């Protein structure tokens, strides 16, 4: 998840009684996201690669089915929510239902695609992978955003990130390949590229010290 995304979601105070949206990060994989989303009345989950959907709890579906509105506005809102339940594929976030959902939301808010796109902007970022003989040697915490092993590597990464405005980076093992993913972002494109290069150089050196590796772009 790009750095500005969580603050952007949490800042939707005007829509949620000044409480903002609860945002939870979990380890990579739909299985983790789906289980976390099930804990909410309405849970929206997504991965950076596009996987995701919206879940409605059985209690929420039952409440909406039995709801008796007292005003035209309440009737419209309840009807729209029931329509979303029918539109959204809760079992798997297929591209067609997600695309139709976007069209519905844009029409409801009377937005064109340009207005939607202008609502959020990613920080410049880079992602690479480094092949390793044994990915299980890399242990993480905090939803795979911080390393606990190899020893002291996270301390070195933290020191590097502090050199860049809005710098953020993490290293995590792949779930399917013998490699680690290295992500870096910063407030400017040159900063992100420089952090990316320094970060890669640092990670490559540390990995070689730890077990040896080959670079794959």
Going from N- to C-terminal start, the domains of the chain cover 5-118, 125-216
pLDDT of residue 187: 80
Residue 101 neighbours by CB distance under 10 Å: 17
pLDDT of residue 7: 62
What HEC string does the chain produce? CCCCHHHHHHCCHHHCCCCCCCCCCCCCCHHHHHHHHCCCCEEEEECCCCCEEEEECHHHHHHHHHCCCCCHHHHHHHHHHHHHHHHCCCCCCCHHHHHHHHHHHHHHHCCCHHHHHHCCCCCCEEEEEEECCCHHHCEEECCCCEEEECCCHHHHHHHHHCCCCCCEEEEEECCCCCEEEEEEECCCHHHHHHHHHHHHHHHHHHHHHHCCCEEEC
The overall pTM is greater than 0.75: no
Q: Measure the CA–CA gap between 201 and 214, rounded to whole angstroms.
A: 12
Token pair 């990130």 is found at 161
pLDDT of residue 155: 87
CATH number assigned to the domain covering 125-216: 3.30.310.50
Of the candidates 51, 36, 48, the one whose C-alpha atom is nearest the C-alpha of residue 2 is 48
Q: Measure the CA–CA gap between 179 and 172, rounded to whole angstroms.
A: 9
pLDDT of residue 5: 65
pLDDT of residue 216: 42
Residue-level pLDDT, tens digit, the chain, 217 residues = 565 666 666 555 445 555 667 888 888 888 899 999 999 999 999 887 778 899 999 999 999 999 999 999 999 999 999 999 999 999 877 888 888 999 999 999 999 989 988 877 788 888 888 888 888 889 999 988 899 988 888 888 888 888 888 888 888 898 888 888 888 888 877 666 665 566 556 666 666 565 554 444 3
Of the candidates 15, 14, 40, 16, the one whose C-alpha atom is nearest the C-alpha of residue 26 is 40
């Amino acid at each position: 998840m790009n750095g500005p995304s969580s603050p952007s979601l949490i800042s939707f105070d005007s829509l949620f009684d000044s409480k903002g949206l609860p945002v939870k990060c979990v380890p990579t994989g739909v299985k983790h996201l789906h289980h976390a989303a099930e804990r909410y009345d309405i849970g929206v989950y997504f991965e950076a690669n596009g996987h995701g959907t919206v879940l409605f709890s059985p209690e929420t579906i039952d409440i909406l089915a039995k709801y008796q509105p007292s005003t035209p506005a309440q009737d419209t809102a309840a009807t729209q929510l029931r329509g979303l339940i029918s539109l959204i594929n809760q079992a798997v976030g297929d591209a067609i239902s997600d695309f139709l959902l976007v069209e519905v939301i844009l029409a409801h808010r009377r937005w064109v695609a340009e207005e939607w796109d202008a609502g959020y902007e990613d920080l410049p970022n880079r992602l690479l992978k480094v092949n390793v003989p044994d990915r299980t040697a890399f242990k993480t915490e905090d939803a795979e955003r911080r390393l606990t092993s190899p020893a002291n590597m996270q301390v070195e990464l933290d020191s590097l990130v502090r050199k860049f405005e809005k710098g953020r980076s993490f290293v995590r093992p792949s779930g399917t390949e013998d490699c680690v993913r290295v992500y870096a972002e910063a407030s400017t494109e040159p900063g992100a590229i420089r952090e990316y290069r320094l970060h890669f150089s640092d990670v490559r050196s540390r990995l070689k010290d730890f077990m040896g590796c080959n670079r794959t772009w």
